[in-house]
Structure 1
């Protein structure tokens, strides 16, 4: 059963999403809190995960990140990772207050950008009792340097500085495309697999998704290092799901981070690309998460 929900963040925004719960549940439920990755909205297949999690006895809170989709926040289309991490914690506070939720059994799930976020959340928020991090972002600065040619990086830094000055002077923030069909075009997420996933899902299931993001979002990504505290998650059980053919959040970074993590932990290797866990490898990715949450929640 799915219901529309909204909750307030500590800085006063209203974030909107869905609450899933098993039909005819009588006891208080363990809950999984989840949000999407870079620029994505909840309709881009998070409902699939929530449905199968709920089918296994979990309540699931799914919401749009601030500035995206149905949620409030300005500037629109700006992905601030540190604020998104705080929003996860506010989502935990909200859902833990509900009468049908067992606040002692809270798990977090994230994928790609939010896969990095849940590492940060679990490292410092002991209300989290289990975490599953799928194809996680580990180092924003490494991701930027992989996507941008070294000779173009100084120009990008100059663009960050010019955009900051313009916004300070009262102008609107500079927007850029998230994905582009032309491999030579400037965009936030280059690559054919990124283009196909976002445009196909945007056309078919997620009309709220927009192919634009603020330039500042790239600057904030460049400053974000979610993998640094992975060894602080223990004793909270950690699962990391790695796509071995991932060209967006490359597997070697996730594997190095996993080696740094302490027990209890679980590594799942999928022989696929970054976006396949939502689609062709959905059964494998969701099944691994279900097994981990059932074991620890």
Structure 2
């Protein structure tokens, strides 16, 4: 895997892509490409990408920064770090970077990314992936990570073992906290429980995670969302730890008091949000599986009134 492309240089793509670009800046074996445009792309081209983290700051210089797929050329591995609602558009935009041998690794919020990619590119190898990271795009050329989690989980039951192992080594050497579990689907759903419940709650109450957890009624709503989503997962025969809800609440409690999710950040900035992928998806899936999700129903109805779709 010589050519690694990063689509979407926001909080997730900027943090993990930045680590890759920093590690392999002088490598003859690995080249890292940023798919970025506008002021952000221009700033990275001129000065590199500054990444501020809980363990120290650094400046990453990728092999090339461009939004022109013909200039970028075919990739061996494509990390997709866009918003969920931009997935198909991104695949079309960078189709010239995708050959039948390109492996795609989506790191999006949601649980259906692989299915959606395979609908467009049925012949390609597509892995499942998710991340635990609190990271934000602050301004052109600058991404900031807080919280100190920075974990990437990926895998594929039908993936090529040699390619999976190679990627795990590349990621680990770049400084990722990387996990390659046997049951990647359970890991994807564990992350979905975390981000769906937290994002839905923060936007519903318009509060940070610290404020939610310190208010008993708000914390109880968050706990109810976790339990309802766990029931939906189990209706699909997804194996989850019995104490997964409490684990997630404990993880949220360890975050800085003012931590927010990207969905709440988008809401505050008046941008399009991932409400349909993170909240509406659960409501529709619950209906299809005949699993009651009354708290999600209430929260989704409220979010539809307040967010920009």
Q: TM-score, normalised by structure 2?
A: 0.29
Higher helix share: 2
Higher relative contact order structure (alpha carbons within 8 Å, sequence separation ≥ 6): 1
